[in-house]
Amino acid sequence: MTDVSNCDRLAEGSATSPLELTILMPCLNEAETISICVAKAKSFLERAGIAGEVLIADNGSSDGSVALAQRDGARVIAVEERGYGAALRAGVAAARGGSSSWGMRTTAMISPVSIHSSPSCALGPIL
């Protein structure tokens, strides 16, 4: 069973960490959908009242994905090592939030895969 005792702390804010949640999205040539994904993630943070960031771990996009994500307010890191796992590892390492969630993009929909925090808190579907 998932421990949800920390969910209230995440929703109310924390004085010890300016950012509570990082929403991480690996990216490789996602120009068609990156803007809507960033907008949905930012909208969730605003609606939930959570201080957070949207982090794009770019794996070498050549289609303008990086510029679009930055324009839309996401923080972007370049990940030289290729592969989805490499992008996730680099993104988790670069996350500034006390917790991080990463998702898989499918036709402009983000499906949260995991929440990492200490201690853990299940937020459920967020976008």
Q: Where are the domains of the chain?
A: 7-116
Q: Is the pLDDT of residue 1 over 70?
A: no
The distance between the two most distant Cα atoms of the chain, rounded to a whole number of Å, is 42
Q: Is the domain 7-116 a CATH 3.90.550.10 member? A: yes
Tokens 């590892």, residue? 89
In this structure, the strands spanning 99-106 and 21-27 are parallel
H or E element: which one contains 71? Answer: helix 65-71
61/71 Cα distance (integer angstroms) = 15
Residue range 14-66, pLDDT digits in tens: 444 588 999 999 999 999 999 999 999 999 999 999 999 999 999 999 999 99
